[in-house]
Structure 1
């Protein structure tokens, strides 16, 4: 791999993705509409239930923190879902022949995957992030936020999301049908990741499933920093997410190698 062309390849992929996916103002409107609707739907679904002192819900989520709990959940979920969409839409480039053109060049393939994932992250999150920031100003108490913990946690989460997306892009190289990623990761990641329901209320088998998603650890970090509750569990989640992300980098490299080998063996004249 030519390490000297890592950055130029990443920039080239960012530019390509921007030209292909930034068409029309409706696209940018949907970046805010659907996440915001998901947040509002969950919030008003909880409104009819008693959430005051002594209620079952208050033992899990304090009444004044329900909007903050849901908003942080959907913000982090959107971070990871945008990179899942990058892999989900990969089949369009495969069918269009773009992937063959990229893989026939000497450009580093890892840079191609990470450039694609990186663009999807910022393209899909910036508008909802602005909405979340403005909402945070009204529903959160800035005096309780641990900013020293929140900032590095957010940086780690964004890096983890990019790595997660690159891995899924590598996995999608095995098949031209990438829609399975939508069914595997959309609802299960939202449910078991703790976006709307804390994993602490899950049965053992569901808790085991939640441990497989980086969203779970990311939400522990964000909510812990927002609530000012930095303890052993917070640091455990931090190091698990860090170690898991480093491991996934090597997994992505291996999956990419296997995918190229599989394409040469099973592919047709267009390779992919």
Structure 2
């Protein structure tokens, strides 16, 4: 455990120094999510038939933007992680005694915390201001937090593990930008989407996270009401972590055999 915590701290510190040291980056962590939220709100608000649905619509979009910020920050993290593959830093990590899975989890977790803390603070203040939060009991706040954090970390570990097979992860960024928010119900309820699109969205952890977050914060649902979604999301998160372990082992063995990593 001590070893894992040291790796986690080292990766977070490395990312902070390389990516998050600029004040402009700090500024963008709030501005870009806010622009996405404003764009979605003013695009959909005329369809509400006046101001009656304003606060509820804004809360729906804010939860979607919050969840998307959690998960897409891991997509950006894997994009930055590919630069370490290109420069040889990742190869050096694989020659170290650090556990492979801990490395990819630490990389994603460090990026997640530093990317979302500002928008999370803004979202909490906005929910309080709108007065639309309806929770069954205070313990549901912890459920909401874990429903965002755990699947996002598993998602990041899985994406980072894929880099062992390719030095270019630009396709991940392209594939999981607009398609992810569309099929996961970030701006539109999944019930309004075609069955084929809903089926595609069901394999993404963001879809389950948003269902739990909205059910707990906006609809007053408890753990019993969300039991099915919680079990499904837990299983999906475990599957992603298992897939990351398998990808790292298979990819490293293949790299050692073929010499694809620079230092092997």
Q: Could you state the TM-score of these two structures normalised by the residue count of structure 2?
A: 0.92
Match of 1:258 in 2: 250
1:211-230 aligned within 5 A: 211-230=202-221
1:85–1:269: structure 2 CA closer, same or farther, 3 Å change rule?
A: closer
Distance 1:156 1:72 in 2: 12
2:172 to 174, 181, 193: 181
Distance 1:188 1:74 in 2: 14
Deviations 1:167-220 (A, max 9, x none): 100012211111111111111110001000111111111110110111111111
Distance 1:202 1:148 in 2: 32
- Listed as ranges, the gaps of 5+ residues in structure 2 are none
Match of 1:42 in 2: 40
Note if 1:139 corresponds to 2:137.
Answer: no
- Listed as ranges, the gaps of 5+ residues in structure 1 are none
Note if 1:27 corresponds to 2:25.
Answer: yes
Deviations 1:146-185 (A, max 9, x none): 3322322322320110111011000122111111111111
1:172-211 aligned within 5 A: 172-211=163-202
What secondary structure, in the 3-state scheme, does the structure 1 residue paired with 2:169 have?
A: coil
For the 8 Å contact 1:214–1:241, the answer to whether it is kept is yes
2:230 to 235, 238, 242: 238
What secondary structure, in the 3-state scheme, does the structure 2 residue paired with 1:47 have?
A: helix
Note if 1:153 corresponds to 2:144.
Answer: yes
1:8–1:64: structure 2 CA closer, same or farther, 3 Å change rule?
A: closer
Match of 2:101 in 1: 110
User: How much does 1:234 deviate?
Assistant: 2.3
User: How much does 1:103 deviate?
Assistant: 0.8
For the 8 Å contact 1:117–1:165, the answer to whether it is kept is yes
1:208–1:136: structure 2 CA closer, same or farther, 3 Å change rule?
A: same
Distance 1:238 1:149 in 2: 12
